[in-house]
Amino acid sequence: MLQNAFDPAVDGQGKDVSRRDDLISRLERSSETGRALIGEARKRNVRIGLSDEVGAACGLYRSSEKLILMNKSYDDDMLLPNLAHECRHSMQDIDAFAPEHSVRSAITITRAKEADAFAHECAAVFEMRSEEVGVYLDFMENNPEVFRPFVQAYNKNGSLDEAKAAAFEAFYTDETFVKTYDSRTVSFYEKGMKPGKKEVSGRELCDKIAPYMTPDFFNRDSARRLAPEIEKRLAPLTGKTSAPSVVKNRCAER
Ligand SMILES: [Zn+2]
């Protein structure tokens, strides 16, 4: 696996190195958010590489190795927004699967990390709308539920933070998307990982992941609601037969 990843300081991988470097400079050139994300990743000594072992994903960030891997089988226009997304993951200083966290906390943190990475991806793509028109149009076509609210919020008053908050919130409305991440999170515990008891607070989520959100967002039913099948899988892990403490307003569930 690591033969396809490389330290920015190490050369010798030929084509992949120049492709990786082209992607980095395209992101830095076309977007202020992208430039800031790459700058911060660099400061944190995060390595970036192309790989053919990323599965179906566009890319991934492996925190244990401080390593971003982009799927080399995707074309560069697809990888460019994802590079911003994965760089943002490398800055999120909270481990969803830390031993002290409850399963519910792991779900909440994972959701918030994805929503935040997605919101930054939206910001980067929005800023590249004149320089990378093709990337912008493709991204809008593939992610209208999250990107459209971002653009609408930005056009309202020109605030990048408010636009990010709109995208963040919109992420939670895509039930299939959220369920996919929830399912992946729960499966770690189903494989035997032991959960802790700590419930993460809205304040902590804002401080460590999304400073442009307010803590009360994370207490809303729209942010906490779980799909019935996830709730069912959660019950044996938390030792409860039903999960009334998990969802705040069960009667409000549709
Ligand atoms: Zn992600």
CATH of segment(s) 2-89: 3.30.2010
On whether the CB atoms of residues 92 and 66 are closer than 8 A, the answer is no
pLDDT of residue 212: 98
117 Cα to the center of ligand 1, angstroms: 6
Q: Is the CA virtual torsion 41, 44, 50, 53 positive or negative?
A: negative
On whether the CB atoms of residues 83 and 27 are closer than 8 A, the answer is yes
Give, as residue ranges, everything with CB less than 5 Å from ion ligand 1: 114, 117
241 Cα to the center of ligand 1, angstroms: 32
118 Cα to the center of ligand 1, angstroms: 7
14 Cα to the center of ligand 1, angstroms: 28
231 Cα to the center of ligand 1, angstroms: 23
Nearest Cα neighbor of 146 from 124, 127, 128, 164 is 164
110 Cα to the center of ligand 1, angstroms: 9
Q: For the whole model, what pTM was predicted?
A: 0.89
11 Cα to the center of ligand 1, angstroms: 27
45 Cα to the center of ligand 1, angstroms: 19
61 three-state secondary structure: strand
Higher pLDDT, 240 or 56: 56
pLDDT of residue 13: 54
pLDDT of residue 239: 74
Residue 1 pLDDT grade (very low, low, confident, very high; cuts 50, 70, 90):
very low
Residue with the two structure tokens 């906490």:
224
pLDDT tens profile 51-95: 888 888 999 999 999 999 999 999 999 999 999 999 999 999 999
Average pLDDT of the chain is: 89
What are the Cα distances from residue 12, in Å, to 8, 69, 90, 135, 219? 11, 17, 25, 29, 50
Report domain extents, the chain.
Answer: 2-89, 103-237
pLDDT tens profile 115-150: 999 999 999 999 999 999 999 999 999 999 999 999
